[in-house]
């Protein structure tokens, strides 16, 4: 069995690529990083350090790599049984034309075996978004072939994969936490579901997508912003501050109340899930900087993302949201000159003010009560920046 994975970064190698290789697939990574591509093609293996209560290093084998903008990747598409991505939501539009061209070549080659494409990104229904991009540039004569033989499968993924350890010299080495979750929409597959240990099929994907988004992603981001305001460098340092931890937990409980209302989650089980996520943030083996987690605040203020979507849920069900508003304030107070989105947000904010900026990026009504409440929270937090987490 053959798998093609776009994105040979830490998440690609440490999470999805590893699960595919462990399941017996020959995995071809596609990337534009020549150093990584060359190393994978030459060594056809790489080490993954898995850290939790213990630490173990496992070798991932039966892999290779090609450049994602080369002709070679098109040939891989014609023969693949599964195609996955971990490139970041903003990069999907760049691989869509390659997928479209490769699918047309697959048709021309006469390969009618089922193919499933799964975008493993931190976004809601990322594969559906990728499908729309592919169909937009797919040759018209290939549309019926793709509709019959290609499944575009939405998924929810969850694994903390920090940057490489300081001083690490192996370009392929990657560290991951022991916890992982890869949930796929079983209703979208073409042909039989592939058997991949660690991939869990469901017919209610959105419940799990939002559980992860509202809990792991929301909590992670608010930890980063409160940590940033308190001068912490890492997520672990931030969550070990009891005051920050209490506020993060309160925000996750606010978003969790939405999930309980919307999907009928068991309150006690969800409280245990929150507790598990908080423990993951404090994993002593993971060094995850607040700047990495807090970056791209514009994307994270989007209507379908980790701050605004749970906030809108609290409005829908009439639930508390004070700590989610604190997270929004944190996004406005976060400054990082090396992050283009952080720079853009501050520039727009300086020109237009809080209400118009939040409405612009979050899709909220500038005149609404919730935007006024968010501004009040921002002003209160900004007035005491050293005590923002107190």
Task: Assess whether 22 and 6 both reside in one domain.
Answer: yes
Q: Does 14 show up as a binding residue in the annotation?
A: yes
Task: Assess whether 198 and 210 both reside in one domain.
Answer: no
Q: Which two tokens stand for residue 232?
A: 């912490």
For residue 389, what pLDDT is reported?
43
- pTM of the complete model: 0.80
Task: Assess whether 24 and 127 both reside in one domain.
Answer: yes
The CATH number of whichever domain residue 117 belongs to comes to 3.40.50.720
For residue 23, what pLDDT is reported?
97
Task: Assess whether 367 and 222 both reside in one domain.
Answer: yes
Q: Does 12 show up as a binding residue in the annotation?
A: yes
Task: Assess whether 230 and 311 both reside in one domain.
Answer: yes
The CATH number of whichever domain residue 238 belongs to comes to 1.10.1040.10
Task: Assess whether 160 and 230 both reside in one domain.
Answer: no
Domain carrying residue 334: 206-387
3-state SS record for the chain: CEEEEECCCHHHHHHHHHHHHHCCCEEEEEECCHHHHHHHHHHCEEEEEEECCCEEEEEEECEEEEECCCHHHHHHHHHCCEEEECCCHHHHHHHHHHHHHHHHHHHHHCCCCCEEEEECCCCCCHHHHHHHHHHHHCCHHHHHHHHHHEEEECEEEECCCCCCCCCCCCCCCEEEECCCEEEEEHHHCCCCCCCCCCEEEECCHHHHHHHHHHHHHHHHHHHHHHHHHCCCCEHHHHHCCHHHHHHHHHHHHHHHHHHHHHHCCCHHHHHHHHHHHHHHHCCCCCCCEHHHHHCCHHHHCCCCCCCHHHHHHHHHHCCCCHHHHHHHHHHHHCCCCCCHHHHHHHHHHHHHCHHHHHHHHHCCCCCCHHHHHHHHHHHHHHHCHHHCCC
Task: Assess whether 160 and 235 both reside in one domain.
Answer: no
Task: Assess whether 216 and 318 both reside in one domain.
Answer: yes
Task: Assess whether 179 and 220 both reside in one domain.
Answer: no
**Residues 353, 343 contacting (CB under 8 angstroms):** no
Q: Does 9 show up as a binding residue in the annotation?
A: yes
Q: Does 4 show up as a binding residue in the annotation?
A: yes
Task: Assess whether 176 and 210 both reside in one domain.
Answer: no
Q: Does 7 show up as a binding residue in the annotation?
A: yes
Task: Assess whether 213 and 340 both reside in one domain.
Answer: yes
Q: Does 13 show up as a binding residue in the annotation?
A: yes
Domain boundary (202, 222, 237) is at 202
Task: Assess whether 98 and 186 both reside in one domain.
Answer: yes
Domain boundary (183, 202, 221) is at 202
For residue 386, what pLDDT is reported?
52
Domain boundary (174, 202, 230) is at 202
pLDDT digits (tens, 9 = 90+) for 175-195: 999 999 999 999 999 999 999
Residues 6+ apart with CB under 8 A from 380: 329
Q: Does 307 show up as a binding residue in the annotation?
A: no
Cα–Cα distance measured from residue 115 to residue 319, given in angstroms and rounded to the nearest whole number: 43
Q: For the chain, list residues with pLDDT below 50.
A: 387-390
Cα–Cα distance measured from residue 185 to residue 286, given in angstroms and rounded to the nearest whole number: 30
For residue 388, what pLDDT is reported?
45
pLDDT digits (tens, 9 = 90+) for 154-178: 999 999 887 777 788 999 999 999 9
For residue 43, what pLDDT is reported?
98
Q: How many domains does the chain have?
A: 2
């Amino acid at each position: 069995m053959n798998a093609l994975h776009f994105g040979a970064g830490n998440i690609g190698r440490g999470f999805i690529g590893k699960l595919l290789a462990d399941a017996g697939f020959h995995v071809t990574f596609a990337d534009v990083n020549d150093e990584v591509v060359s190393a994978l093609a030459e060594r056809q293996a790489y080490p993954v350090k898995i850290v939790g209560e213990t630490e173990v290093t496992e070798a991932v084998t039966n892999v290779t790599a090609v450049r994602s903008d080369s002709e070679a990747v098109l040939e891989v598409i014609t023969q693949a049984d599964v195609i996955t991505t971990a490139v970041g939501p903003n990069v999907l539009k760049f691989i869509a034309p390659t997928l479209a061209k490769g699918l047309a070549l697959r048709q021309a080659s006469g390969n009618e075996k089922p193919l499933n494409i799964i975008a493993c990104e931190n976004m809601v229904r990322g594969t559906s978004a990728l499908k729309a991009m592919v169909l937009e540039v797919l040759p018209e004569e290939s549309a019926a072939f793709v509709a019959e033989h290609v499944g575009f499968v939405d998924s929810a993924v969850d694994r903390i994969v920090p940057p490489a350890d300081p001083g690490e010299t192996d370009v392929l080495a990657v560290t991951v936490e022991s916890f992982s979750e890869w949930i796929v929409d079983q209703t979208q597959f073409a042909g039989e579901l592939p058997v991949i240990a660690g991939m869990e099929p469901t017919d209610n994907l959105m419940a799990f997508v939002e559980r992860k988004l509202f809990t792991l992603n929301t909590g992670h981001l608010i930890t980063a912003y409160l940590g940033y305001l308190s001068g912490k460098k890492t997520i672990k340092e931030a969550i070990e501050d009891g005051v920050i931890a209490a506020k993060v937990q309160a925000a996750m409980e606010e978003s969790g109340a939405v999930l309980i209302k919307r999907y009928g989650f068991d309150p006690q089980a969800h409280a245990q899930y929150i507790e598990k996520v908080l423990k993951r943030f404090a994993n002593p083996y993971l060094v995850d900087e607040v700047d990495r987690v807090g970056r791209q605040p514009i994307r994270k203020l989007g209507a379908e993302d980790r701050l605004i979507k749970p906030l809108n849920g609290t409005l829908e069900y009439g639930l508390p949201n004070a700590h989610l508003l604190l997270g929004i304030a944190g996004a406005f107070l976060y400054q990082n000159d090396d992050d283009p989105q952080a720079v853009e947000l501050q520039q727009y904010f300086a020109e237009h003010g809080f209400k118009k900026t939040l409405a612009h990026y979050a899709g909220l009504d500038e005149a609404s009560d919730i935007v006024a409440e968010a501004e009040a929270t921002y002003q209160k937090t900004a007035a005491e920046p050293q005590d923002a987490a107190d």
